[in-house]
Structure 1
Amino acid sequence: MRVSRTSAAIALAAALTLTPTLAACTTVGGPSGSATPSPSVAEGAPVPAPADVMFVQMMIPHHEQAIEMSEILLAKEGLPTELYELAEQIAAEQGPEIELMRSWLRDWGMPEMGHMAGGHGGHGGHGGMDGMLSEAELDELRAAEGDEAVELFLRQMIAHHEGAIDMARDVIANGSHPDVRALVDEIIAAQQAEIDLMTDWLER
């Protein structure tokens, strides 16, 4: 019942070995007149659109929270084996994707969301992001046990995955970077398959 993604490791390895070395980042004036970094890439390398950069900056904490949710579930005892396997799978898939996206931001000379001016460290500052859980909702998952924990995890992770897919579809419409598009296609395919699986479990 596991949903496999065979190309995640390949994509990570390819990105880390093939991404061109970038020049130092430049700055442009933001709306308030403050300096805002903009991507700077080597000549001939694809330049990320603003939508590509924003997607990567937002998807890193989004993936981090999915891993946190999985770790909360894995710390519980007495739950179905298939649920533990799904949680392990989510963490195993999304961890390498986080490192891949961080490598892109480094290469583009762009900050992570938590390092941006006025940004928040941790997940509490991202409450408006599609599918992100509040700290209260995470606490609810931490406190749940047995069948309640199973149902709560599934419902929360379905909503979380749906938010990631919505974000991915947005960048398809407005992004331009081929590597980001390849990851977006992976995210949509894998997370939709997991949504279908979790929905089926809830309907049993």
Structure 2
Amino acid sequence: MLFVVAVVAFLAACTARESDAPNVIVPGGPGEQAQTLAPEDVGTDRWVAPNEADLKYVVGMIGHHRQALEMAALAPERAQNETVKALASRIYDTQGPEIGAMEQWQRQFGEKAPAHGHSGKMPEVDHKSMPGMATDEQLAALKAARGADFDRLFLQLMIAHHEGALKMALDLLSTGSDARVEEMANDVMVSQQDEINTMKAIKIP
């Protein structure tokens, strides 16, 4: 019996490819099947470069997150409700690193883009028109508020802000082509829906 197991293991090893690294799954476009690429195909002509939806999502979500950080940074000195303070701290601690991850993705795309016939330049995005973005007037009102007034306005604006991020992530998941951007969008869907539920449950007298 041990001899048979050894033979099977030997045959499996003989049929292994040059690289033991796992294959890379590259999602296709809407209605298309995903491709499975060997590790040595990454960076070659078989690699599917990010599409315009991926690029716009990353540029847009970086700006979207930065406004969330701006609002969250106001809470320590202005908020009264301890749950609001804790939530703002969580948003700040989560979305800061997410911005870093998206900026790293941009740098990596810029390095690979010329080999795929792309300039590597990021598209222009009108951040003020993105869903859920607070206006300049709303931000000014939030900065001027204190105590329970701040708590109520913060929750109102941040719920709308998170709902806008969910819409952006959902749109990306139906139009994007890059696996890593899709993963980041899924993270936004999970974390921000959870925070929306938390915010809606907070009662400010």
TM-score, with structure 1 as normaliser: 0.70
Residue range with higher mean Cα deviation, 146-155 or 102-111: 102-111
Structure 1, unmatched stretches of 5+, are 1-40, 120-124
What residue is the counterpart of 1:178 in the other structure? 179
Please provide the CA RMSD for this pair: 2.0
What residue is the counterpart of 1:155 in the other structure? 156
1:47-88 Cα shifts (integer Å, max 9, x gaps): 1111111100100010000000000122326x1222111111
Letter in 1 for 2:199: M
Matches within 5 A, 1:116-131: 116=124, 126-131=127-132
SS of residue paired to 1:176: coil
TM-score, with structure 2 as normaliser: 0.70
Whose radius of gyration is greater, 1 or 2? 2
1:140-188 Cα shifts (integer Å, max 9, x gaps): 0001111111110001000000000000000011001111111111100
Alpha-carbon distance in structure 2 between the residues aligned to 1:46 and 1:82:
44
What residue is the counterpart of 1:12 in the other structure? none
Q: CA deviation at 1:126?
A: 2.1
Is residue 173–residue 182 contact of structure 2 (8 Å, CA) maintained in 1? yes
Q: CA deviation at 1:136?
A: 1.1
Is residue 66–residue 157 contact of structure 1 (8 Å, CA) maintained in 2? yes
What residue is the counterpart of 1:52 in the other structure? 54
1:10-32 Cα shifts (integer Å, max 9, x gaps): xxxxxxxxxxxxxxxxxxxxxxx
- Indicate which of 64, 67, 74 corresponds to 2:66: 64
Alpha-carbon distance in structure 2 between the residues aligned to 1:63 and 1:92:
11
1:103–1:83 distance in 2 versus 1, CA, 3 Å: same
What residue is the counterpart of 1:37 in the other structure? none
Alpha-carbon distance in structure 1 between the residues aligned to 2:76 and 2:121:
31
Query: Would you say how many aligned residue pairs link Structure 1 and Structure 2?
Result: 154
Q: CA deviation at 1:202?
A: 3.9
Q: CA deviation at 1:198?
A: 0.4
Residue range with higher mean Cα deviation, 104-113 or 167-176: 104-113
What residue is the counterpart of 1:108 in the other structure? 109
Deviant stretches of 4+, over 3 Å: 110-113
Give yes or no for the alignment of 1:144 onto 2:145.
Answer: yes
